[in-house]
Amino acid sequence: MANRPDLTDNISIITDGCQRERVLLSVVKPDQLRRVLRIMLDENEFLSPYGIRSVSRIHQEQPYVVQVNGAEYCLAYEPGQSHSRLLGGNSNWRGPVWMPVNYLLIESLQRFHYYFGDDYKVECPTGSGQLKTLDEVAVELARRISSIFLPDHHGRRPVYGGCELFQQDPYWKDLVLFYEYFHGEDGRGLGANHQTGWTALVAKLLQQSGELFTRTRTEGLHQAACA
């Protein structure tokens, strides 16, 4: 019992300018959060062009190996379908990007920002030298995962990969499917392609992005008019 951690150490209280108390309950402290985000926002580890990978990319060259009861088990980074027939060839959580995890990460970053404010900044991406607030990091993650479904500068949606029927056919190209999960490197849809449950969360991210764009544009026009 003497070594039992005191979870109350991670309960913090801050008072903002309106004298309203904000309470933060977290399993990580501010310095620990920085260490977590340094790895999570590293493009050589978890941060892909299309969101947060389920396994670090570093395990592509350095698989994680563990010995259990005389047997050896290996976890390698597999961004798409599995290289083995385990679980029917479904790579599951061994590398692809999953919508529910990314959505929860984005919401958590928004809540941390609400507590810490604009003074708490981290490097994003790691090694870029660009410091961003946690709200700006959340926006960047939302942008990356939303780009899976949006036409790029060539008019192609990453979600459809090399499927030319869905990329070009006028009757299909705008009927976007909500796949189960997404390739960790190129964003193409994988698994079930009518997974209209958790993957539909991207609609909320797109809505937030649209509201942010409208608000930013309105503030810009207002400042220009007052100048």
pLDDT of 5 > 80? The answer is no
pLDDT of 56 > 70? The answer is yes
Task: Name the 3-class secondary structure at 163.
Answer: coil
Is residue 69 in a domain?
Answer: no
Q: pLDDT tens across 173-202, in order?
A: 999 999 999 999 999 999 888 766 899 999
Residue 222: pLDDT band with limits 50, 70, 90: low
pLDDT of 2 > 70? The answer is no
Is residue 216 in a domain?
Answer: yes
Task: Name the 3-class secondary structure at 181.
Answer: strand
Is residue 70 in a domain?
Answer: no
Is residue 120 in a domain?
Answer: yes
Which residues does 22 contact at the CB level (< 8 Å), separation at least 6? 13, 14, 15, 16, 114, 115
pLDDT of 216 > 70? The answer is no
Q: pLDDT tens across 112-139, in order?
A: 999 999 999 999 999 999 999 999 999 9
Distance, in Å, from the CA atom of 26 to the CA atom of 6, rounded to the nearest integer, reads 12
Is residue 21 in a domain?
Answer: no
Distance, in Å, from the CA atom of 153 to the CA atom of 186, rounded to the nearest integer, reads 15
Q: pLDDT tens across 61-82, in order?
A: 999 899 999 998 888 899 987 7
**What domain range is 156 assigned to?**
27-55+95-226
Mean per-residue pLDDT of the chain? 87
Which residues does 121 contact at the CB level (< 8 Å), separation at least 6? 131, 132, 133
Distance, in Å, from the CA atom of 134 to the CA atom of 167, rounded to the nearest integer, reads 34
Tokens describing residue 8: 């109350």
Closest alpha carbon to 44 in 55, 58, 62, 61: 58
Is residue 67 in a domain?
Answer: no
Which has more pLDDT, 59 or 7? 59
**Highest-confidence segment of 21-30, 99-108, 186-195, 216-225:** 99-108
Which has more pLDDT, 74 or 141? 141
Question: What pTM value is reported for the model?
Answer: 0.85
Give the pLDDT of residue 21: 72
Counting the structural domains of the chain, the total is: 1
DSSP string, 30-50: HHHHHHHHHHHT-TTTTEETT
Is residue 84 in a domain?
Answer: no
Is residue 186 in a domain?
Answer: yes
pLDDT of 108 > 70? The answer is yes
Which has more pLDDT, 128 or 215? 128
